[in-house]
Amino acid sequence: MVLGEKVQLHRQVKLSAWGTDGPARIEIGNGTAIGDRSEIHAGNRVIIGAGCNIAWDVNILDRDYHKLDNDREIFAPVHIGERVWIGCRAIILKGITIGEGAVVAAGSVVTRDVPAGALVAGNPARVIREGVAWKP
């Protein structure tokens, strides 16, 4: 686990870096804040850039915690760019990349990559507006 300078982890944040196929890694960039009861589950790798604002009750997972029809659990890294804002109760699923300056609305379920500077919302999340580039 790698935490940058001045990372703020609020009450009851859960960071789980445990992989069945080897070591898992969570990286959180400088000046990022993660709200109450948010959870980050890495079976392989979750990278969160600098200057991000992640609200309360957010779940970020690079895994499903089940095997379905496979012999092995499937992991896919999550990469969240710099200066990303993620609203409360959003869920970021495995294999997702969220571009720099993007905004994920509260309650969204992110199942596809999010372009830099885009606002996404809904279940599944879709692009609502481009060119928002949130800046803390």
Is residue 29 within 8 A of residue 48, CB to CB? The reply is yes
Measured between its terminal Cα atoms, the distance across the chain in Å is: 24
Spatial distance between the Cα atoms of 10 and 127, rounded to a whole number of angstroms? 29
- Of 128, 122, 76, 74, which is closest to residue 97 (Cα–Cα)? 76
Question: Would you call 79 a catalytic residue per the annotation?
Answer: no
Q: Angle at CA 27, nearest 5°, toward 23 and 28?
A: 155
Token pair for residue 105?
Answer: 């609305």
Query: Active-site positions?
Result: 66
